[in-house]
């Protein structure tokens, strides 16, 4: 970690301190992916990196059941109605139906 400007400086309007970070030897494909992600989110690469780091260190937010279901479907995970069908099919197969 490098402290910018010869030392840490307070964030404008906040009591916290701003620290400059740098990443060395980042593979080109990672940098290109980051640039694409930043463009898709209408951010600079620096703002995108800060958003990623902020999310990584922030406490997890509670998700609504609808959000959990949407995420499960996005990931291709079986959801309740699909799981019920799978369990019934397995039970029927075991019972020779």
Cβ(8)–Cβ(19) below 8 Å: yes
- pLDDT tens digits, the chain, 97 residues: what are they? 444 455 556 656 566 788 898 999 999 999 999 999 999 999 999 999 999 999 899 887 788 888 888 888 889 887 766 677 778 888 888 888 7
Structure tokens at 5: 């400007």
- CA–CA gap between residue 46 and residue 52 (Å, rounded): 10
* Terminal-residue alpha carbon distance, the chain: 64
Cβ contacts of residue 11 below 8 Å, gap of 6+?
17, 18
Biggest CA–CA distance in the chain, Å, is 76
Cβ(30)–Cβ(37) below 8 Å: no
- CA–CA gap between residue 44 and residue 8 (Å, rounded): 22
């Amino acid at each position: 970690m490098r402290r910018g400007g010869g030392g840490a400086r307070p964030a404008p309007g906040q009591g916290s301190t701003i620290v400059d970070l740098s990443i060395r030897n980042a593979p080109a494909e990672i940098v290109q992916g980051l640039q694409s992600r930043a463009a898709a989110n209408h951010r600079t690469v620096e703002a995108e990196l800060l958003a990623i780091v902020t999310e990584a260190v922030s406490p997890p937010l509670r998700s609504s059941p609808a959000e959990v279901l949407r995420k499960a479907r996005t990931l291709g995970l079986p959801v309740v109605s699909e799981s019920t069908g799978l369990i019934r099919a397995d039970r029927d197969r075991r019972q020779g139906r």
